[in-house]
Structure 1
Amino acid sequence: MYRFKGYDIALIELEPNLDLDGNPNISAICLGMEEDIPFGGQAVLTGFGDLMFNTTLPPVDVLQELAVEVINQQECDPVQEMPDPDIFVCSFTPAKDFCQGDSGGPLVAKRCDGRWTQVGIISYGPTCATFELPSVYTRVPRFIDWIIGKVGENACQ
């Protein structure tokens, strides 16, 4: 496992490697570039986490998907007081959010060419689906060189 300490990002090497050519339903995601982050627009998060904050509901066994509004750093940083705002990206959609168990999941955006690109990694937020505070994601484009250095390529190139 490779991790970039302090920024909620890690890569896990699988043995054996996945055969991405053997299944048409599986493919590598494009690594998002800075211009792929849809500030003022929507991105999609997915996860198997809780559906409500601090509950004893049974675990979710169906992958959940949710569109959220991506906000700019000026809207997010004064509220969340991020240690390094250039390393994070935020979303804020009242009453829509990730929850416990979703951490490490993807935040993806659709590019103009129709391909999906991963622009964030679920990191932290206030609780689940609040009306007051944005949620924070590790900003994938800031780690492109590190990822490619470990993986060897970007799926979009």
Structure 2
Amino acid sequence: MPAKIVDVSYGSVDRRRGKKVGASKMLIHKDYDDAKTKNDIALLEVKYPFTFGKEVKPICLEMAPMPIVDKDAVIAGWGSYYVGGDGFDILRQTTVTIYPDEICAMMYSKNSYSAGLQCCGRKRGKGMCKGDSGGPLMIRNGVGRFQQIGISSYVEDVCAGEYPDVHTRVSGY
């Protein structure tokens, strides 16, 4: 996908009202493997800097792995309940629980769950939906700010299925 067709929306939970900035450069991980969902991470350079304020704030990134198993985390996205369906106009979020790698390795084949990934169990039947890929997996850090620990990668079934959601851990990159 060329960077010139990518827009980044920001400043609103309503994607019809947010500001947009185009991407000038996109760096996809050199070892990205779509078939095995490995190294599912990319960086975007935007055409102009964001202006931080009340509605736009930076998020802290997890720089080194930390113990997070069994902690609650928040995911967010504009995905759809249905494969191929239109996404939501209002950003949706829900709380998930971080699972140990052993659970995910048992539920997914070794080809689709490997080092550098993190899976999360759904709470109250809510989880990642189709189209949420690229969204944040966040926990609150010690000072109450959100810290991004992952990027939504894939889900085996549509929202609220039996399989855990899978995210790329940002600390591995």
Q: TM-score, normalised by structure 1?
A: 0.79
Q: Is the contact made by 1:53 and 1:127 (CA closer than 8 Å) also made in structure 2?
A: no
Counterpart position of 1:54: 83
Counterpart position of 1:81: 109
Return the alpha-carbon distance in structure 2 between the equivalents of residues 104 and 131 of structure 1. 19
Runs of 4+ in 1 over 6 A off after TM superposition: none
Return the alpha-carbon distance in structure 2 between the equivalents of residues 115 and 103 of structure 1. 23
Shift of 1:130: 4.2
Counterpart position of 2:169: 139
- Among candidates 127, 130, 140, match of residue 97 of structure 1: 127
Q: Is the contact made by 2:130 and 2:155 (CA closer than 8 Å) also made in structure 1?
A: no
Return the alpha-carbon distance in structure 2 between the equivalents of residues 34 and 44 of structure 1. 18
- Among candidates 84, 89, 97, match of residue 69 of structure 1: 97
Give aligned pairs, total: 138
Counterpart position of 2:74: 44
Q: Which has the higher strand share?
A: 2
Q: Which has the higher helix share?
A: 1
Return the alpha-carbon distance in structure 1 between the equivalents of residues 133 and 168 of structure 2. 10
Per-residue CA deviations over 1:1-24 (Å, capped at 9, x if unaligned) read: 11212322111101112222xx23
Per-residue CA deviations over 1:18-75 (Å, capped at 9, x if unaligned) read: 222xx2321211111311x62102100000111x23375x531100011011101011
Matched residue SS, 1:118 = strand
> Cα RMSD between the aligned structures?
1.9
